[in-house]
Amino acid sequence: MKNLRIRSALSADLEGICQIEDDSFSDPYPRHLLKRLLREIGNGFLVAEETPGRLVGYCVSSIEGRLAHLISIAVLIEDRRKGVATALLRSLIEHLETRPVDELWLEVKQGNKEAIGLYERFGFAGVMILENYYSDGSQALRMRMSLRKQVPKAERKQR
């Protein structure tokens, strides 16, 4: 997307974030949880804005000690495959690289080949399968990447 802007989420973004969440997942996070994450996470909650006020994606992560966890990343269905998730993930990683964080972890539905491919392009590797992880009983693939042995930023931006 040509005019895409990645920025820290604001409390005023809650409606747009909820819309993205509802559009993206069959079992979306409830509004109260997204509101709490917005309040507590700070700079680890990013939104992708196509034009002022039009959110097309978001990602949220938490940091505990030297580990970060990508809690969720989502893009509106009509705005997928346009580089939004790539831009969000790149911005998140750049943010985490300024912190004393060694690794970034995430869980993804094992059958979500598109998302797994995106994560692998950033250097994530699968480490284990989590049985019955999602509310529908499906499995998750836990993935991790090292933030200390990172692909040079110039190379990552070309991807």
Which residue is it, tokens 């346009």? Answer: 82
Residue 115 phi/psi, 5° resolution?
A: -65, -40
Per-residue pLDDT of the chain (159 residues; tens, 9 = 90+): 678 999 999 999 999 999 999 999 988 999 999 999 999 998 899 999 998 889 999 999 999 999 999 999 999 999 999 999 999 999 999 999 999 999 999 999 999 999 999 999 999 999 999 999 998 899 999 999 999 854 455 555 554
Number of domains in the chain: 1
Residue 5 one-letter amino acid: R
CATH classification of the domain holding 32: 3.40.630.30
Question: In which order are the strands placed within the sheet that holds 140-146?
Answer: 5-8, 45-51, 54-64, 67-75, 103-109, 140-146, 125-130
Q: Where are the alpha helices (DSSP H) in the chain?
A: 14-24, 31-41, 84-97, 113-121, 153-158
* Whole-prediction pTM: 0.89
Range of the domain at 36: 5-158
